[in-house]
Amino acid sequence: MADVVHLTPLDHHFADFIARLDSSPCQELWLAAALASAATGRGHVCLDLATAAEGEVQPSRPAVHPLRTPPARQWRSAVAACTTVGRPGDYTPLVLDDSDRLYLHRSWDHERSAADSLLSRCAPVPVDETLLRAGLDRYFPPKTEAPDWQRVAATVSLTRRFTVISGGPGTGKTATVARILALLLEQSGEHGLAVALAAPTGKAALRLRHSITRATEQLGLEASLRERMPDQVLTIHRLLGAISGRGSFRHDRANPLPCDLLVVDEVSMVDLPLMARLLEALSPDCRLILLGDRDQLASVEAGAVLADICNHGTPPPFSAGFRRQVEELCGPLPGETAPTADPPSPLSDSVVHLRTSYRFGADSGIGILSRLINAGQGAACLDLLQSGRCEDLAWQPLPDAAGFAAAFSNAVRRGYDGYSDAVTPQAALEALERFRVLSPHRAGPWGVDDLNRLAEAALGLRRAEGLPWCRLQALMVTTNNYELGLFNGDTAVVLDDPESGRLAAFFPAPEEEGSLRRLSPLRLPPWEPALALTVHKSQGSEFDHVLLVLPDRMSETLSRELIYTAVTRARQRVEIWGSAEVLRAAVERRIERSSGLRDRLWG
C-alpha cells in the first residue's frame, strides 16, 4: 500500500462499527478495520498487515492528526486477540490468515469459494482421441514451426474441464475458441452441447459475438454443425439473471446455469466477487473456458483474478503425463515448459498462453512497445517512442497549459474528421471505432471530463439550453438497464432520426452485425460523453488510432498495466502525449493487489 493512506468517512464508520462490536476493542483493531475497508476500496481483496505496518494513516476528519500503524508482529498479536477477528473458516466480521492477510469476511468467502471451484474443475475429461486428432488437423493444420499454441490451447480445452487461454491482442483467442467449439460439438455427437458465451460488458459481448461469427464463417463447417454453433453472447450479469435492486441473481448454487460449457471473454475485467458468483452458478460437471490478456489492467473492483489464475505471468509447466499427451497431438513443446517432478498446482495443465501475434508483426512498433512495457523497461519505451523509427508510434511532450487546448483541438479535428462529417448513425459509429482519445484519469487537468469538453468544442458540438446531449453526441452507458437491454460500456451516437425527425441515440444492435437500435435520449440510463475515455473504460474495445494523454505528474492510477492496456487498444497507430519522467515511472511501476487467491491456487 502507499506510504500514506487517506481514510474516507466510510472507512471511519466501518472501523467504529467493528470497535463497538468487539468485547475488548483497541487502537490496533480500529486501524486494522479502517485500513481493511480502505484496501477494498482501492481494489485489494485484503489488507496485508506486513505491508501496511509502520505506515502513516491520514484520517478523513480534518481535526485528527495523522496516525501511525504499529510494527507487524505487535499488530498481528493485538488484532488476533480481538473477538471480531477469526481464523479462516470462523464466522467473524474480520478474518486473519496465516500470512497476516486481514479480510472482510465477505471478501475471504469470495476468495475461498472461487479457489475451491476452480481447483475442483481441473480434472481431465474423456475424449475420443481419434476424432480429436482428425479435428485438430482440420482446424489447426500442422505447421513447420512448433509448437502451434492455438492447437495446444484446443487440446487442453478438449481434454480438461477447465481451461484458461491468455494472450495479447491479435493472438487469436476468439478464433481459437470458435474452432474449440466446433471440436466440442463434434465430440458431443447426438447428445448435443448447451453452450453459453459471456463477457463483462455489452461492448465486449458484442465484439465476442462478431469475432466468433466471422471465425465460424471461415471454417467451412457442415450445415448441421454450423447450425449448432452458438450465436448469442450475454453480459455476465444478464447471463446470471441479475435481479434489479436486490444485488442478487436468479442463477446460483441452488439454480445453476443450464449449460454444459461456459466461455467467458475479457476475464481481466472481472472482479473477484462477480467471478465467485459466476462459478457458484455452474454445475460441477460444466466445462469452463476463460479468455483474456493477463497483462491488462485488472478490474475496477476488488481483485486481479486473471493474473492470479495465470500465476502472475509465470508460465506453469504441464505435468509429465499431460505433456506427453499434448505432444502426441501437437508435436514437441519447448524446453522451458519441461515439467517438474511435482507440478505446483492442478492448474498447471489448464493454463495456456498464446504467444504469436498475428496483428503485430516482428517490425510493428506497437508490438515492440507493448513487450517493452510488459518487461518494465521504461527508458527503452521512451527511447523507442522518441526515436521516430516506427511509423505506427508517435510521441509528443505534453504541451503547457497555454498551448494544450489549441494542440489538442487540432489533433481531435484530424482524428475525428470522418466522425464530424458523418450524416448517418452507421457512419458515425464506424468513425468512432477509427479514433479515440484515452486518459488515465476522469477528473482534473488532462482527465476525460476536460478532454471531452475540449473535443466537443473542437468539433463544434453545441447543446440546446437545458439539454445534456446534442447532435453528434458520442456517449457511453455507465449502468446496466435490463428493461432497455443496455449495459455498462454500450456506446451510442446521437443523430437525427429519419423516422421521427427528432434526435435519437443509435446503438449497435447485438442481433446482427451492422444493424442498429434507436432510443430517445430521454429514456437513456446514466451515461457519460465518450469522445474521450478513461483507459479502464476502453477495455474490451479496439480502435485504429489511439491518442493517449498522460498527466504531468505521477499518480496512484498510473502503472505499466495501464500503459499497456492503452497502447494495445490500437490496431494501427498510437500517439502518446506526456512527460518523459511520467511515462518512464509509470512503465516501471507495477500494480500489486493484496490477495490470497494466487497462493490458494498455486501454493
pLDDT of residue 228: 87
pLDDT at 64 over 80: no
Residues ≥6 apart with Cβ < 8 Å to 556: 2, 42
What the block records as the C-alpha cell of 570 is: 490500437
Q: Bigger pLDDT: 316 or 156?
A: 156
Q: At what angle do helices 580-587 and 560-567 cross, to 10 degrees?
A: 100
Compute the distance between CA of residue 585 and CA of residue 363 in angstroms, rounded to an integer: 26
pLDDT of residue 118: 95
| Per-residue pLDDT tens over the stretch 165-201 | 999 888 889 889 999 999 999 898 777 899 999 998 8
| Per-residue pLDDT tens over the stretch 400-433 | 888 899 999 999 999 999 898 888 999 999 999 9
DSSP state of 554: -
User: What radius of gyration, in Å, describes the C-alpha atoms of the chain?
Assistant: 25
pTM: 0.90
Query: Torsion over CA of 172, 178, 184 and 190, rounded to 10 degrees?
Result: -170
Compute the distance between CA of residue 408 and CA of residue 402 in angstroms, rounded to an integer: 11
Which pLDDT band holds residue 79 (cuts at 50, 70, 90)? Answer: very high
| Per-residue pLDDT tens over the stretch 330-388 | 888 886 555 555 666 888 899 999 988 888 877 899 999 999 999 999 999 999 999 99
| Number of Cβ atoms within 10 Å of the Cβ of 22 | 20
The answer to whether 535 and 439 are in contact (CB under 8 A) is yes
Compute the distance between CA of residue 204 and CA of residue 70 in angstroms, rounded to an integer: 45
Q: Using DSSP, state whether 139 is helix, strand or coil.
A: helix
| Per-residue pLDDT tens over the stretch 448-500 | 999 999 999 999 998 888 788 899 999 999 887 878 888 888 899 999 888 88
pLDDT of residue 336: 57
pLDDT of residue 60: 79
| Per-residue pLDDT tens over the stretch 220-244 | 888 888 888 888 888 898 899 887 7
Q: At what angle do helices 401-415 and 448-458 cross, to 10 degrees?
A: 60
Output the average pLDDT for the chain: 89
| Number of Cβ atoms within 10 Å of the Cβ of 72 | 16
The answer to whether 296 and 204 are in contact (CB under 8 A) is no
Q: What sign results for the dihedral spanned by CA atoms 232, 234, 240, 243?
A: negative
| Per-residue pLDDT tens over the stretch 250-270 | 999 999 999 999 999 999 999
Percent of the chain at pLDDT > 90 equals 61
DSSP state of 71: P
In single-letter form, the type of residue at position 73 comes to R
